Chain A
């Protein structure tokens, strides 16, 4: 009997709680809608002049205000960013963010770090460093981003160390961070990481080389191709060389045409489609007969991209091929490129 009563009491309590949450959230949503409407105008105005009649900010409005301000900050480029910072300091957004940073809630910490990063608030660096050391990959990456925005020189080692050792950092987020930090920082940090990284770590960062300028990345790529035997790394390096249109490396690319890994041979075929000359027709024709489908497909696509390639030349090549697989894959490509005529 008591069990039944306590069960029903629990159900009742949860129902009341659900209602309470709904009432609170509905009221909040209504309030935020109005709040955001008002503040959107004020923030837009702050991009051109100092707004007059800024309303007072209640503590419940701090989070939506910071979110809105961050949205604008990440949507604009150049001088307006500084104007947004001036406005933030004028209305006390910096102080609000500092307050949120000290809170326990992850939500508050995240928005606070994003805000303080944009504001380049140096005084909070030690506090953010502590957060950057936490296990949570997302929170630590947001923290390192904020630190890099505040003081790239001081925080640089955190970025490098994170890229080197935090295998749980999302590659996409790291790529976004490197892009955001600009080519110089990206190049420096990647150079440092690549020189000492091995195995999984190296596999993780080598793809980022395409984010930096060819002058810096190409020597690394060449060196990696010379020293690494891992198929993933070699394939990524070849892909990046092709992506960077490094014509001077065409000979290096060709040297991998007989590599034991089909992933590498496929990248050789793809890269030759970008870098190759008519001389590469014979290499690609050979790769058309590769026992791996993806190599054959890449070779066919690349043959169609060679400078003097035409429907007639490809058809001629297809007719001359004795291997059925080679012929089929090439005819597929002719059909793709030239439609029904193939």
Chain B
């Protein structure tokens, strides 16, 4: 009798859980559809006409933290120097690199030491020197002791001259108009404190000298799976929440922030893996609690292309790190949950993330293990097992195909009809295998966070094949953002 009750409860729980998950994401998907159609209309008109400069564009300080990036940093900075934007400076922060990062920058950009005096509004590790470029007046390099990405960004904020900062991962590939696109929310609405855009996967694409020449489909299955995953996470996940001003995450790979707002909340935390998500949540929390009008926005344009891991070991580590970052960020901002002034973020987005992103992997992993063992032990019938698997796989498949449709009516970044078929087939593989594997990784991330295990999980290997002279690049940059698609 107890066994039958348990099975019934179990069955009901998972039906409700997966139905709520699918419904929640379908609602977000619907909101994304509602948003993206007028957005594309505007875009169609604006991109089709000559671009004019008003003279009222906000000057931006682009901050590029770098740690042991000697093989990629020059191409990255060169690409940044060609961004299409009327008024910006670039600040590269060499965060205690032990390779020749600083030397290659010195050689390539003719750096000379500056006697910069600045206001240390955010405490950071010791700054050794600040350099200016003799060839590019809008480029400075800050050399400091190693303190991690958050510390490097804080140091960059201290010396940034402009009111808006843009943080960029040094290994990202950026379209020339990316800054122009991602800054739009600041130009449209002066209450904007942060904005981000869509990050896409570069594997399979043709790149030269830091520029994306042609999009393509990778041959590696894991990279393919991540393309679908990124489409889902960005296009409808973020666009949907953004329409409610309840965006929980802005990818640290490319984010634009109001410098004063960041300083007001104390800058980046330096002891976390998910410092970018934590900052966004802290901004929400601070603004909500102080009753100030603000916006945190998302632009659906692809603003940044990044390499996805192509082996399970690296991917697993990345996902463990992301989940840990999510847990840290949510835990530190738990006061936002159901706060009387929490608004949509406190009453809807935060609880949603808590149930489906924080605890979701636990429910899914636990459910799978319990179901399989239950079935093997004869406690659970084949019907229940099939129901569980169908719900898990079906909901994932439905969300993936919705994301493909959304991509189809908006950017169509991947060429040919074949790409749709490939992505669809990949979704089939992803749903039963990858999703479950990812759930286990994410549970490991949660366990790591709960027991405060070592934080060096970010190291891994990536190929960096597109970067000039980097065929032998080994080791994932420790500055890989924590939440590119979480």
Q: A110-B42, A114-B45 are in contact. Are A22 and B420 (CB under 8 A)?
A: yes
Task: Convert A305-342 into 0s and 1s, putting 1 for each residue whose CB lies closer than 8 angstroms to a CB of B.
Answer: 00000000000000000000100110110011001101
Total contacting residues, chain A, CB less than 8 A: 55
Other-chain residue from A10, A106, A107, A207 in contact with B56 (beta carbon distance below 8 A): A207
Q: A8-B394, A339-B112 are in contact. Are A15 and B424 (CB under 8 A)?
A: yes
B409 in contact (CB, < 8 A): yes
B219 in contact (CB, < 8 A): no
Q: Are B48 and A67 in contact (CB under 8 A)?
A: yes
Other-chain residue from B41, B119, B390, B402 in contact with A105 (beta carbon distance below 8 A): B41
Segment with Cβ contacts to B, from A47-55, A119-127, A152-160, A169-177: A169-177
Tell me the complex Cα distance, A170–B187, Å.
6
Residue numbers in A under 8 Å from B21 (CB-CB): none
Residue numbers in B under 8 Å from A171 (CB-CB): 56, 187, 190
Q: A7-B394, A14-B405, A19-B420 are in contact. Are A328 and B112 (CB under 8 A)?
A: no
B52 in contact (CB, < 8 A): yes
Q: Are B41 and A293 in contact (CB under 8 A)?
A: no
Tell me the complex Cα distance, A186–B430, Å.
58
A179 in contact (CB, < 8 A): yes
Q: Are B409 and A172 in contact (CB under 8 A)?
A: no
Other-chain residue from A18, A19, A138, A328 in contact with B117 (beta carbon distance below 8 A): A328
Residue numbers in A under 8 Å from B42 (CB-CB): 106, 110, 138
Tell me the complex Cα distance, A293–B56, Å.
24
Q: A18-B420, A332-B116, A342-B115 are in contact. Are A110 and B45 (CB under 8 A)?
A: yes
Residue numbers in A under 8 Å from B56 (CB-CB): 171-172, 175, 207
B417 in contact (CB, < 8 A): yes
Give chain A nearest CB distance to B241 CB in angstroms: 21
Tell me the complex Cα distance, A138–B187, Å.
12
Q: Are B54 and A179 in contact (CB under 8 A)?
A: yes
Tell me the complex Cα distance, A8–B405, Å.
16
B401 in contact (CB, < 8 A): yes
Q: Are B41 and A107 in contact (CB under 8 A)?
A: yes
B291 in contact (CB, < 8 A): no
B99 in contact (CB, < 8 A): no
A91 in contact (CB, < 8 A): no
Q: A14-B405, A19-B420, A110-B45 are in contact. Are A176 and B188 (CB under 8 A)?
A: no
Q: Are B420 and A74 in contact (CB under 8 A)?
A: no
Q: Are A4 and B116 in contact (CB under 8 A)?
A: no
Tell me the complex Cα distance, A110–B42, Å.
8
A11 in contact (CB, < 8 A): yes
Q: Are A111 and B117 in contact (CB under 8 A)?
A: no
Number of A-B contacts (CB under 8 A): 118
Interface residues on B, range: 35 or more
Q: Closest chain A residue to B47 by CB distance?
A: A67
Best-surrounded residue of B188, B387, B395 (most CB of chain A within 10 A):
B188
A102 in contact (CB, < 8 A): no
Tell me the complex Cα distance, A210–B394, Å.
59
A26 in contact (CB, < 8 A): yes
Residue numbers in A under 8 Å from B401 (CB-CB): 11, 14-15, 18
Q: Closest chain B residue to A72 by CB distance?
A: B50
Tell me the complex Cα distance, A59–B109, Å.
54
Q: Are B118 and A293 in contact (CB under 8 A)?
A: yes
Best-surrounded residue of A17, A105, A114, A172 (most CB of chain B within 10 A):
A172
Q: Are B41 and A4 in contact (CB under 8 A)?
A: no
Q: Closest chain A residue to B41 by CB distance?
A: A107
Q: Are B45 and A111 in contact (CB under 8 A)?
A: yes
Could you name 24 residue pairs across A and B whose Cβ atoms are closer than 8 Å?
A4-B387, A4-B394, A10-B398, A11-B401, A14-B404, A18-B424, A21-B405, A23-B417, A25-B408, A26-B417, A68-B48, A71-B50, A74-B50, A105-B41, A110-B41, A111-B45, A136-B38, A137-B188, A168-B189, A172-B54, A211-B55, A294-B119, A335-B115, A342-B115
**Chain B residues near A (Cβ < 8 Å):** 38, 40-42, 44-45, 48-50, 52, 54-57, 112, 114-119, 132, 187-190, 387, 390, 394-395, 397-398, 401-402, 404-405, 408-409, 412, 417, 420, 424
What are the nearest 6 A-B pairs in CB distance? A293-B119, A107-B41, A175-B54, A335-B115, A7-B394, A328-B117
